[in-house]
Amino acid sequence: MILADGHSRPSNTVPSSKLAARTVDLVREYGAGDSRVRALDGLHIELHSRRFTAIMGASGSGKSTLLHCLAGLDRATSGRILLGETDLGGLDDAALTAIRRDRIGFVFQDGNLLPHLTAGENIDLGLSLAGRRPDRAWRTELVGRLGIADRLRHLPSELSGGQRQRVAVARALLGHPDLIVADEPTGALDSASGGALLGLLRSCVDDYGQTVVMVTHDPSAAAVTDEVVLLKDGRSAGILNQPTRETVLERVAAISAQPGAVA
């Protein structure tokens, strides 16, 4: 498959035997009593290293809750969330903050950049907070590959939406994280910028051996990934390997047509 930036997706991608992250009987509930909502209902998924995975489902299916749990932004009500062999449920707040800083890279819909810092300072922020210096050669390669070397002194307000997202990708990659999580990363971009960003995330996997998991509602975006994890009512509704836009649309429609059922 040829992406918007000319990058190709391998047609014979094989899952790594190593798991980057997984959930075991994951339950996440909000509220109490009659207002209690079970966003995730005994969910078991496995994310292999060096794979690009999309999470899809209707509104209220639990996809954003799952991403937040995997990223250490939300805690399980019961069950387990593991990053590699680290059980996130056994960590206190300080240790969980360190995990998010050192082992997880974030790409949010709006870039989530600090407005008073330059692009370069935003890229370095995570390592700066950890008291670590970036690998200068790696940083130079990243900003060059992402086409933002001439924008590092600019504030986020002086960047286009696509440039802000490229800064976010550089920040996510700089510390060589175990997992990159992307929450609707193309949602605020035009089609050209969105396609370019998806190509960059694809390159994170193919060229740099990263593991990327992305929440999206867009079947065209999902078609760039290696697999789609489908959710319905907080439960697994199956996995679609080597997705295309057409197969994603077919599976989503089939799941939606089954009230109360799990595919």
Determine, yes or no, domain membership for 10: no
Residues 70, 97, 186: CA angle, nearest 5 degrees: 50
Quote the pLDDT of residue 19: 94
Q: Please report the pLDDT score of residue 129 as a whole number.
A: 85
Residue 179 lies in a domain: yes
189 in any annotated domain: yes
| pLDDT (0 to 100) of residue 190 | 86
Domain that holds residue 55: 49-75+92-256
d(CA 141, CA 210): 16
CATH number, domain containing residue 59: 3.40.50.300
The reply to whether 187 falls in a domain is yes
Q: What is the pLDDT of residue 237?
A: 94
Query: What average pLDDT does the structure give for the chain?
Result: 89
In-domain check, residue 15: no
What does the pLDDT read at residue 81? 97
Quick check: is 96 in a domain? Answer: yes
Q: In Å, how far are 52, 85, 140, 223, 246 from 252, measured between CA atoms?
A: 19, 32, 41, 13, 10
Confidence at residue 193, expressed as pLDDT on a 0 to 100 scale: 85
Question: What is the C-alpha separation between 143 and 85, in angstroms, rounded?
Answer: 31
Report strand pairing: 104-107 vs 179-183.
parallel
- pLDDT value of position 6: 45
State the pLDDT at residue 5: 43
Q: Is residue 135 assigned to a domain?
A: yes
Residue 245 domain flag:
yes
Domain total for the chain?
A: 1
List, for the chain, all residue ranges whose pLDDT scores fall below the cut of 70: 1-17, 259-263
